[in-house]
A and B are shown apart, each in its own frame.
Chain A
Amino acid sequence: MKVAVLKGGRSLERGVSLRSAARVEDALERLGHEAVPVDVGGDLVKRLLAEQPEVAFVAMHGVGGEDGTVQELLEILGIPFTGPGVAACGRCVDKVLAKHELRGAGVATPDWFAFNETAFRELGAADALSGLEQRLGFPLVVKPSRGGSALGVKFAASWFEVPEALVSAFSYDERVLLERFAEGRELAVSVLGGEALPIVEAIPGDGDRYDFEARYEIGRTEFACPAELEDTETAAVRGAALAAYEALGCSGFSRVDLILTADGPQVLEVNPIPGLTDTSLLPQAAEAAGMSFEQLVERILELALAPAAA
């Protein structure tokens, strides 16, 4: 089967995408497919028309690839593709929109407030900030609404740190959210074709609790899969993850990040196209479920070609 592997693009997560794609291309070749690597740029449509792939494997992260843009083009061209569709990508990649959808569907997510840059520049929103203290408490998390990985995500331990954190977050997007810090165990549930894979727990090293960048470095964060949880906890976490996946309309595969607090799981976000690098969580979860990386890739392709079966 001829598979176009879409990767790269102009997103800030280009590097991760290239690493994910390289791995997928290798797996496709091992599976006997013809992998056509496509670094997404101005010639994307021309390339796809010329290559006529039977299916597109979207291995892009961040703005451009994960937000529905590329998916929309693939729909127009009539090429089936892996991962969630246009609408689901659009909902997931915008964390504010995603949180509204989650809450609307009764899925627990930490309290938050979202602001546009114009609200501060033109509407004096800064004056409203002081009223948020008792609503969110400290520390709180400031993050760009769109954008993946840890870029622009900061903790603020007090009000004095909020303006600086906002300036950083606004470097990545014109909308940011201030979110209540959910204390608890950090878990990730990869969902493949509507089924939850074993839960991964991220265990940050000492002192890295408030350092998002550290979490993405090998060796500084340990991952346990499957996470050691009570049966009831496992059930609650999987339930929350599947509900989030459903609420945002995901299909194919996605990864749900959540915190298991004393009051149960709180969903932080859903990554419509999670990383597939050799340190990424979805492949770890698949392996814990007894799936090799090739089997994972094959399954993702199957789901893309028979979306109704998902």
Chain B
Amino acid sequence: MAETPHRRRAHTRTRDLERYAGLFAERTSVMRSSAMRDLMAITARPEVISLAGGLPDTSTFPAGTFAAQMTKIAQESTAEALQYGPTEGFAETVDCIVEVMGAEGMLPDPDDVIVTTGGQQAIDLICKTLVDPGDVVVCEAPTYPGAVPVFCSYQAEVVQIECDDDGMKVDELEETLARLDREGRRPKFVYSVPTFQNPAGVTLSLERRLRLVELARQRELLVVEDNPYGLLRFAGEPLPPLYQLDGGDFVLYIGTLSKILSPGIRLGWAVAPPPVMEKIVLGKQAADLCTSTLTQHFVREYFAEGRWREYVESLIEIYRGRRDTMVEALRSHFPAAATWTEPQGGLFIWATLPEYIDTGDLLAKALRENVAFVPGQAAYADESRGRASMRLNFSGVGDEEIREGVRRIGKAVAEQVELYGALTGEHEVGAAPAEADEPGRADVLPFRKESSG
């Protein structure tokens, strides 16, 4: 009989822990609070309706296509698909990437592209290339929660710039840059998700895009444009990516197939000018030598079939419906004092509650009702910020679950609003969001300012 194949490591004693603790790199000390980590772990329970994830819908991907392509790879390219590949990625994969970027009007030089293990690795490699401990990295407030630990692990000092309905406030960015100048500090880069931002769902306006690119050129400042969602637009006119406006001199670009094909294949990329790319390639070599060759073969076959845009269109249809469902549910179930963004694409809505509600604590209450979301603090390097906000995902679950999930969160919020009213004698006044000029949409997003304590 076979032995159990896995064995847990032998236990560690306190003294051992101290011994290890003495060995830990300083960068490990910037970890998230364990209480919140434990809370988030519970959101994975099967009975929980999770609006917390960032999951695209993969249930409608045609299984037959998948099977046929994998069979073809096995029949025609087994040896190559199972072998190491070049660190930069296969030229054929880069051709697919150039095609995807072309769909948004970008024309990168294929030599400037490196294939990465998801867009997440691209963020990591760019930080590895550019950030020394103590360096300033500027990003949006709120920013992509998955970028925060990367910045922290390179011991960057993260400076966050407020957003409104038109994305990052570029005038505030200018003021911040001027302040940093006076302090004799120069940020290594500005990280932005300009289109259908994660977590806020907002999109940087054309005017601000132009200004940001101009700033980058004037100051020779690098901008890292992370654009996982650009092709997932359900409403409004497409806006040119920063990379296109800049031409690739000062804008480094991060793309991914996670949201338009599959996150499980882990295929992303970075685009950078040759001197930067050279360093990124060295970093990639050290990190994992190359991106999965099997994945790259699959991508090649998938794009050769020529129907990738059809699949993206089908996703857009699904997500548009789910966004509508979520917005409608928010109008029905969230109290008048709450506001939220109404994205024209992407996967997320950012909802902001009255200031006295801490969404970390609200999550504990919501979990008793078997529903989960991401507390806003995850989107800030300074965890005292974003406390009254939450990120809601509408792409990963069906309409029925969205409605029920939002209803349950709304009920928990309403109870807290009522309780606060009873405690302070203040009762809710003002029109419900549904009665505002433009239904359900606040003119200016009440992104929460830094807590006064």
Contact = CB atoms under 8 A, between A and B. Distances in A.
Interface of A: 10, 12-16, 22-23, 25-27, 30, 117, 120-121, 124, 126, 129, 149-152, 157, 162-164, 166-172, 213-214, 216-219, 278-279, 283-284, 287, 292-293
A171 B422 contact: no
B390 to A, nearest CB: 13
B35 A167 contact: no
Contacts of A284: 14
B450 to A, nearest CB: 16
In the complex, which of the residues A129, A152, A167, A283 has the most CB atoms of chain B within 10 Å of its own CB atom? A167
Interface stretch (B147-155, B321-329, B412-420): B412-420
A126 B421 CA distance: 10
Given A12-B367, A26-B8, A166 B423 contact: yes
22 contacts: A12-B42, A12-B364, A15-B34, A15-B37, A16-B34, A120-B423, A121-B422, A126-B424, A151-B39, A151-B361, A152-B361, A162-B423, A164-B420, A167-B357, A167-B423, A168-B361, A170-B416, A171-B416, A172-B364, A213-B35, A216-B33, A216-B34
A44 B198 CA distance: 40
B35 A150 contact: yes
A212 to B, nearest CB: 8
B423 A163 contact: yes
A171 B35 contact: no
A178 B162 CA distance: 36
B425 to A, nearest CB: 7
A26 B425 CA distance: 54
B35 A120 contact: no
Contacts of B14: 278-279, 283-284, 287
A15 B38 contact: yes
Nearest to A26: B11
Interface in B26-49: 29, 31, 33-39, 41-42, 45
Q: How big is the B interface, by class?
A: 35 or more
Contacts, number: 111
B17 A216 contact: no
Given A15-B34, A217-B34, A218-B21, A292 B358 contact: no
B315 to A, nearest CB: 34
B403 interface: no
B75 interface: no
A171 B361 contact: yes
B389 to A, nearest CB: 15
Nearest to B15: A287
B21 A219 contact: yes
B138 to A, nearest CB: 25
A120 B361 contact: no
The 3 closest A-B pairs by CB, nearest first: A15-B38, A171-B361, A26-B11
Contacts of B12: 278
A83 to B, nearest CB: 20
A208 to B, nearest CB: 11
